[in-house]
Chains A and B, each alone.
Chain A
């Protein structure tokens, strides 16, 4: 028996010493447990730019919604099929997981970081810049869905976040935006090189914040003119002053940091998108000098042998199109390092033109801002001839057809080319341009005016999903977002 006890004793001894490495075993040695908040901020910026600029049919179909482009063979998205590719789910994935979560984490890491006194202002500036991007993203989500998880979002301890109504969120976003603007101090820096958009230049961020405020104000102008007017008039003097202030993402020419448009249009090797007839057919009669910059490849439309009739041809929106028999997307846009466009001076000019029409005091007439918007757009694409274009009676603010909604609607749409998200929002508010009906949509009312909530919210967050559906007036593509009142 002694031998048995000996064995057991030895084994016990051997064993006791064998768990000391368990802690080490369960520590990830290939991924960092700690990072500075700045790297999360940089990541969120890039993810945001990727999200806003891509044209992946699974994620961002706003260029189709705005009818800048249409599809060739596979026309489901142009026909508003949001379900098959779970587009809404992917918007949540991008916005909450990849952008807002990283911004939130960056904010708390920076907040809790110890800095020397002289860095305190820069630290505050960083936090406020993060806040500006939060406002940018949340306002976009409200514009798409009408209601979203907001006050209870980004809390993993609460896995059933309730939804907040869009108007309440907007009201809070204005407060947050003002607070951030109040606390930005242009006398010091912020992120430096970690900020892709402005290299940490606080003055630029202040202009961005004010421009964003104008954008948000104009968006809700039909629903809450008082709030809109207050916001816009407070911000108008401090918005972007030229194209030099544009908020752009500088992409590089190689993967994975090239413009996601390049990934979808060129690297994919696919021929899924062509310019839609909707925009081509508006620009051609105006002899818009931006045409060869927006599009490329005229097509021979002759049906007679030996006769060549070259023309710009847009694909019939929402119908099958032959890639080779349509004009194509402009070559500048297809460059790998084409900058990601987040917000432009041109865009803001049109908002201010609209604000002027609404009687807000914005330091200029509607016409003046309208003209600046067009000139800025020409300038952005490097196109000359803006003056002649503005002289075209169909363009000139005083002579162009229709109401101010129509004029600003059409010209801002042309100026915002490739920026489907802004154009789709503007179309819903202004009801211009007149869009085409795709194959599967029977009436104009079939064109979605909001996106349905992600399908997986029905299963992962069902009680709040139901409540949110009631809140917005039915989870339908035909339910209008709160600001879309006419």
Chain B
């Protein structure tokens, strides 16, 4: 190519990136959850009316409409309520496929959240499996879910279906 400005061939594609920059303020309740992650702990909040423990808490009970003011420190283990094995590659994927995306009900919590499950072949995952959080090194802990590297089986017998059937 002698001259790049005149010998580039016709334009066939057009980059049209869409970008949204925004400031995120998680609020008091989620800040407590995120501060807990910074210490390698899961923190939730209990509703004073129904007694349910939410993690992460949004600061109020969606059922009773009251502020959740009681802070609860949850355990490091939980139960897989349901899961999905991801086999489909997509743009921006950061984890090697196949991997397991699981809904995890932490011990003491009444709300499951999504976590990455590792250290188990994808054909051995099952509902009710008992798992534990594996954290990043202490020096790398941040107020972010990135502090949790993944969950892995903790070796306990599977949980009884009745203990998590309300959380599917």
Pair from one complex: no
